[in-house]
Structure 1
Amino acid sequence: MRIVITGGFGFLGRQVAGALLTTRRLRGVPIDRLVLADRVVPSDPSVADPLVEVVQGDVADRLDEVFAQPVDVLIHLASAVSAECEADFDLGMSANVDTTRALLEAARAQSAAGGPTPRVLFSSSVAVYGSDPALPLPPVVSEATLPTPRSSYGIQKLVCEQLIADYTRRGFIDGRVARLMTVSVRPGKPNAAASGFLSGIIREPLAGLPATCPVRPDLRVALASPRRTVEGILRIAEVERGAGPGLLDGGVPVNLPALTVSVADMLTTLRRVAGDAVADLVTTAPDPGVEAIVGSWPADFDNARAAALGLEPDPDFASVMRQYLADHAAAVVAGASPRPERPGR
Structure 2
Amino acid sequence: MRAMIIGAAGMLGAKLSTQIAQGAVPGITDLVLVDRIAPAPVPGLPCQCLAADLGAAGAAAELAALAPDLVFHLAAVVSGQAEAEFDTGYAVNLDASRALFEALRALETRPRVVFASSLAVYGPPFPDVVPEDFVLRPASSYGTQKAMVELLLADYSRKGFLRGTSLRLPTVSVRPGAPNAAASGFLSGILREPLAGQAANCPVPDVTRVWIASPDVTVAGLAHAAALDWDRIAPHPVLNLRGISVTVGEMLDALEQQAGPDARALVSRNPDPAIARIVQSWPEAFVTDTAAALDFPVNPDFPAILREYIDQYA
Partner of 1:176: 165
Q: How well do the aligned residues superpose, as a CA RMSD in angstroms? A: 1.4
- % of aligned pairs identical? 44
Partner of 2:22: 22
Q: 1:261 aligns with which of 234, 246, 250?
A: 246
**How far apart are the structure 2 equivalents of 1:261 and 1:172?**
39
Amino acid at match of 1:7: G
Partner of 2:221: 232
Amino acid at match of 1:255: N
Partner of 2:309: 324
Partner of 1:54: 49
**How far apart are the structure 2 equivalents of 1:124 and 1:50?**
27
Q: 2:184 aligns with which of 185, 189, 195?
A: 195
Provide the secondary structure at the position in 2 that maps to 1:95: helix
Given that residues 203 and 272 in structure 2 are in contact (C-alpha distance below 8 angstroms), is that contact kept between their aligned partners in structure 1? yes
Q: How much does 1:50 deviate?
A: 5.4
**How far apart are the structure 2 equivalents of 1:50 and 1:20?**
9
Question: Radius of gyration: which is bigger?
Answer: 1
**How far apart are the structure 1 equivalents of 2:90 and 2:130?**
27
Q: How much does 1:70 deviate?
A: 1.6
Q: How much does 1:252 deviate?
A: 3.6
Determine whether 1:308 maps to 2:301. Answer: no
Q: Moved runs in structure 1, 4+ residues, more than 4 A? A: none
Q: How many residues align?
A: 312
**Change beyond 3 A, Cα 1:49–1:59:** farther
**How far apart are the structure 1 equivalents of 2:122 and 2:88?**
21
Given that residues 190 and 202 in structure 2 are in contact (C-alpha distance below 8 angstroms), is that contact kept between their aligned partners in structure 1? yes
Provide the secondary structure at the position in 2 that maps to 1:122: strand
**How far apart are the structure 2 equivalents of 1:22 and 1:241?**
21
Q: How much does 1:205 deviate?
A: 0.4
Q: How much does 1:45 deviate?
A: 5.2
**Change beyond 3 A, Cα 1:184–1:276:** same
Given that residues 255 and 306 in structure 1 are in contact (C-alpha distance below 8 angstroms), is that contact kept between their aligned partners in structure 2? yes
Partner of 1:90: 87
Q: 1:118 aligns with which of 97, 100, 111?
A: 111
Q: Summarize the alignment of residues 34-73 of structure 1 with structure 2, pairs less than 5 Å apart.
A: 34-41=31-38, 44=40, 46=42, 51-61=46-56, 62-73=59-70
Provide the secondary structure at the position in 2 that maps to 1:142: coil
Given that residues 220 and 297 in structure 2 are in contact (C-alpha distance below 8 angstroms), is that contact kept between their aligned partners in structure 1? no
**How far apart are the structure 1 equivalents of 2:122 and 2:139?**
7
Q: After the TM superposition, which of the residue ranges 212-221 and 53-62 deviates more from structure 2? A: 53-62
Unaligned runs of 5+ in 1: 333-345
**How far apart are the structure 2 equivalents of 1:268 and 1:150?**
30
**How far apart are the structure 1 equivalents of 2:243 and 2:228?**
20
**Change beyond 3 A, Cα 1:54–1:292:** same
Q: How much does 1:67 deviate?
A: 2.1
Q: 1:211 aligns with which of 200, 220, 241?
A: 200
Q: How much does 1:240 deviate?
A: 2.0
Amino acid at match of 1:53: Q
**How far apart are the structure 2 equivalents of 1:164 and 1:276?**
47
Partner of 1:185: 174
Relative contact order: is structure 1 or structure 2 higher (C-alpha 8 Å, sep ≥ 6)? 2
**How far apart are the structure 2 equivalents of 1:313 and 1:8?**
23
